[in-house]
Amino acid sequence: MKLAGLGHLIQVYPLVLFSISSYAAPNAGFLNVLGPQGVNLWMLEKARPLDTSIQHGARMFLAQDSSKLVDQDGSTDFPEQWFQQPLDHFSELSSHTFQQRYWVNKRHYKPGGGGPVIVLDGGETSGEDRIPYLDTGIVEILAKATGGLGVVLEHRYYGESIPVDNFTTDSLRWLSNEQAAADSANFMANVKFEGIDEDLTAPNTPWIYYGGSYAGARAAHMKILYPDLVYGSIASSAVTHAAITNWQYMEIIRQAADPKCSSHLENSIKQIDFILDHKLFSHPLKALFGLAGLKHDVDFVSVVQGPLGSWQSKNWDPAVGSTRFDEFCTALSAPFGNFSAAAELPFNHPERMVPVTTGFSVDFSIINYANYVKKNTVSHCPSSSTVEDCFGTFDDARYQETTLDQDWRLWQFQVCTQWGYFTTAPPDPNHPRIISKRLDLAYESKICKQAFLPGNDFTVPALPNITAVNALGDFAIAADRLAFIDGEVDPWRPDTPHSDDAKGREDTIIRPFKLIPQAVHHWDENGLANSSQEPADIQKIHGETIEFVTEWLKDFKKPGKE
């Protein structure tokens, strides 16, 4: 039916029958890190035919097919199920609803056994991408250890939990941290699980809420906003600190990457900025990268930073992780013709310089950098298009398609309204950097004005209202039975309670505070059917998580009982 009086007409479906295209595009975090250029890369990936033989190449993560996921005895899959939600939890004038998708793991559930419900927040992607965690990951691990029921709950607007028929600014106005949290609370308090007769709703049953990354922040927020429903929360790589600029993301990579690679990156970017500043050789420089036709220097350097986004995709499990960043680093240092013997000499040493054109030479690591970008990024631009068509970001109309297949708009809307995280160069121009100084807030945030035109009922603010997020606790967010688990070299760690800008805290059973050595982004969320094959640090964190959750559960009392 159509909703009248809401500016744009919005279709509300009793059951969402369409599905998002199955290509493997860059994930939401990747889109955010690369700003408007990330959207360009999303569009290029969407236009390319799906090649299922590519696991860790130009494409990011290929989501596992949920229809092929079965119980370990091979008998039962995880069929999608649906729960009716209000479109607007905070308006008594609206009676409109949508269907929210979820999946259930009942392998270890014992009727009347008193086990918990372990719910994993789907976050800013299709819930299907999270089903592996229901099968062998953290949900399965905790459900098995506690005799609990496992659930993956898809986030409103993502996957097939879509309440609208377009992604205009007005139609997206119910995509907020507050509405999504209310969805989870309503689900916990009212869900009836198919094939289960007993009442497993909160607070009569202990619910353990898990999330990673943005969903990790939501896990922490749920414990603060709905403490009577959420018995315990595990917030992994939880970005509880919203920030307008997020320059420290690249700083973590600069410090954690192989020193030789970081040195090549720093020196290359410094030299690229210098050449662009002096303009004389900017055209041959761009031509090296296959980008001579780009009109704006800032678009050029935003393409150049693209390979850095793959750091976040590193994972201990090669089945889901990417080796892309390491391949990039190897390429930067690769032997280059007659200049290979000079590999150990300082950057810009005369014996390392490669002539490009009359009066213009560059260090051979820049040649390697250029060749890598040409092969792995520029080559995706079809021959029928110019590089400006593919990688320019100043054509506003490029970002104004609002059909449901433009799902890049979802996380970008959340970034522009509440979360921020615009990836800029360090504010101190003298600070070492691995991205160009041209990547500033004005450039990285312009997508907000380009993509989200003012609606009749909602206007995206000039800058995100990060106060709405940080008011829930920011770096200091804490509560009993709220655990934080982070990776030491996660580029998002500066936005978590493990940030160097946060106060230190103790690691206790009631308030766990764990840091996984040399880990990147929510590495505890993955698991293997044979846990003995997991790395020692992953086995350790899984064991510690089982320990504190089982201790929490010992203290659970149903409401009204002493």
Q: Is 2 left (phi over 0), alpha (psi -120 to 50) or beta?
A: beta
Hey, CA dihedral for 57, 314, 331, 385, is it positive or negative?
A: positive
Which of 243, 137, 217, 213 shows the shortest CA–CA distance to 520? 213
Measured distance CA(523)–CA(492) in Å, rounded: 13
Catalytic residue among 213, 233, 236, 436: 213
490 is catalytic: yes
Is residue 213 part of the annotated active site? The answer reads yes
CA distances from 379 to 48, 58, 289, 324 (A): 11, 10, 11, 16
- Taking the C-alpha atoms of residue 394 and residue 444, their distance in angstroms, rounded to an integer, is 12
For residues 263 and 347, the answer to whether their CB atoms sit within 8 Å is yes
Phi, psi (rounded to 5 degrees) for 376: -105, -15
Catalytic residue among 183, 363, 474, 490: 490
Which residues 6+ apart lie within 8 Å of 40 measured at CB? 390, 391, 392, 393, 398
Neighbouring residues of 154: CB distance < 8 A, sequence distance ≥ 6 = 100, 101, 102, 122, 126, 127, 160, 161
Handedness of CA 407, 409, 415, 418 (dihedral sign): negative
Dist CA 328 CA 306 (whole Å)? 11
- In eight-state DSSP terms, residue 70 is B
Q: Which two tokens stand for residue 303?
A: 């393409």
Q: Which two tokens stand for residue 180?
A: 């999504």
Identify the CA nearest to 153 among candidates 197, 198, 219.
219
**Furthest CA-CA distance within the chain:** 85
User: 493 — phi, psi (to 5°)?
Assistant: -55, -35
Distance CA 129, CA 525 (A): 12
The C-alpha atoms of residue 119 and residue 130 are separated, in whole angstroms, by 11
CA distances from 73 to 76, 133, 138, 196, 529 (A): 8, 17, 19, 20, 12
Q: Residue 441 in 3-state DSSP?
A: helix
Ramachandran sector of residue 438 (left: φ over 0; alpha: ψ -120 to 50; beta: rest) = alpha
**Residue 234's beta-bridge partner residues?**
210, 483
Cβ neighbours, 10 Å, residue 90 = 11
Classify 265 in phi/psi space as left (phi over 0), alpha (psi -120 to 50) or beta. Answer: alpha
CA 528/CA 273 separation, integer angstroms: 45
The residues assigned a catalytic role are: 213, 490
